[in-house]
Amino acid sequence: MSVKLRLTRIGRIHAPIYRIIATDSKSPRDGKFIEILGTYNPASKEIVQFKEEKINDWISKGALPSDSVKKIIKLFKEKSA
């Protein structure tokens, strides 16, 4: 099983909010997932919730983050610095 860190959409029509999740690479975008790792609101560019330790743990285990998740991690590190 190949694990990916990616976004799944929640929220309303025209007001998306995304969860950062760890999931099997073959599962659909809004399908089953292993763990919720954070929440991101693109309208306000605000990371509502972010579990940095768990994200780093998954990456160390070999999970591959998607391009959008990489950008969110970079954004979080810039804001926290």
Rounded to a whole number, what is the distance in angstroms from the first to the last CA of the chain? 34
If pLDDT is split at 50, 70 and 90, which confidence band does 1 have?
low
Give me the CATH number covering residue 14. 3.30.1320.10
Asked whether 35 and 23 are in contact (CB, 8 A), the reply is no
pLDDT of residue 49: 82
pLDDT of residue 46: 67
Structural domain harbouring 39? 3-80
Tell me the torsion sign for CA atoms 20, 54, 71, 69: negative
List pLDDT tens digits, range 4-42.
999 999 989 999 999 999 999 888 888 889 999 999 998
Name the domain count of the chain: 1
Mean pLDDT of 52-78: 92
pLDDT at 44: 84
Q: Greater confidence, 15 or 81? A: 15
